[in-house]
Amino acid sequence: MNLNNKLAVITGISKGIGKAIALTLLDKGCSVMGWGLTPPDYQHSNLHFEECNVRSFESVQSAFGKFEKAFDKPADILINNAGLGYFGLTENIDIDELHQIFETNVYGTFYTCKLLIPGMKQQKSGHIINISSTAGLEGNPQIGMYAASKFAVRGFTQSLFNELREFKVKTTCVYPGSVRTDFFNNAPGVTPHANMMSADEVAQNIIFVLETTDNFNINNLEFRPLIARPE
């Protein structure tokens, strides 16, 4: 896809990976509609922001309605980046936190796809990128509910590939390892460090996926730090 003049919707746009992707797409000539809980701390003539809580279908519907009013065409790109994690032993898990994780990571991804897919199918083009995690590939102690949500994103994206390929709509599931963002604020004992990947490098690899030719689909993209521990 030639990204110049394309239209992208990104959730969780205000920081971390979402911010890095948005800035890179803007540099490539895209128009970006960002949905998130807090406004971004950066501006661009082609950046549009709408407050949106992806945990709520009504909130996503409202943001989508504003998207339709602002643009006279379907989205070319949807990046489901908004994510949330809480960690701990299974018997200590707070049920409200469990709901928050699934409503954000799973339901939010479904809501945006439900609303944006019809336009992509109609124009017979588009690319949906769902951000999972290496926790969506393997379960480890004290990440059970987070891993379950990211495994769900993985399965959902695989199903979407088979639903949408005949409409020439691409799907990619991305599995980042540890990235230096404030995601780890909810992970006691884990502090971002220099050996974690940068959000900018993650964004550059996602841009590579988007810029592949029309009949070339990267279904899964996994990357991890070579050395995971701080030196």
Positions marked catalytic:
146
Query: Contact, 61 vs 108, CB < 8 A?
Result: no
Neighbours of 117 (CB within 10 A): 20
| 31-36/7-11 β-pairing | parallel
Single out the residue of 186, 107, 172 nearest to residue 143, CA to CA.
Answer: 186
Helix/strand/coil for 166: helix
Tell me the Ramachandran region of residue 158: left when phi exceeds 0, alpha when psi lies from -120 to 50, beta otherwise: alpha
How far is residue 50's CA from residue 17's CA, in Å, rounded to a whole number?
18
Q: For residue 153, what are the β-bridge partners? A: none
Query: Contact, 174 vs 199, CB < 8 A?
Result: no
* Pair of tokens at residue 129: 């990128």
Looking at residue 183, the DSSP 8-state letter turns out to be G
